[in-house]
A = this chain, B = another copy of it.
């Protein structure tokens, strides 16, 4: 069993590593292009999470249509950044810490957890109460990854 478990873990790491590097190599001519791409996706997500947070906190009036639009956009964008982490793209303006490439399975697991919460968010914004509840869970799932791998 231990051997099988080890093999499974090794495969999971290998699969995650492939996910990180193979499509990136295919889609980005230069490392800088990948960094720019993922930062653009995160910037738009951050802005729309901020709009949702402003409604959740009562700083802006709750607007179900605007909330749905922002939450759906975040859900669409949440699939984008992960192919844009080619190996060696963690220096300079890259805003990475904690080496997601050496911890590929953990990085992938955190992506998937955040993706699942973001998916629920798009289903939860028809009421202010629903938004407040699921925005908290979503924010926590984003933060779990930021705390480990986001440089600044």
Binding site for B on A (CB under 8 A): 26-27, 33, 36-37, 39-41, 43-44, 47, 51, 60, 73, 76, 80
Main secondary structure of the interface of A (DSSP, over half): helix
Give the residues in chain B near A76, CB-CB below 8 Å. 73, 76
Bound: A47/B40 CA distance, A: 11
Give the residues in chain B near A47, CB-CB below 8 Å. 27, 33, 37
Bound: A76/B76 CA distance, A: 9
Contact B27 A37 (CB under 8 A): no
Bound: A27/B36 CA distance, A: 23
Q: How far is the CB of A145 from chain B (nearest CB, A)?
A: 19
Q: How far is the CB of A55 from chain B (nearest CB, A)?
A: 12
Residue of B nearest to A27 (CB): B51
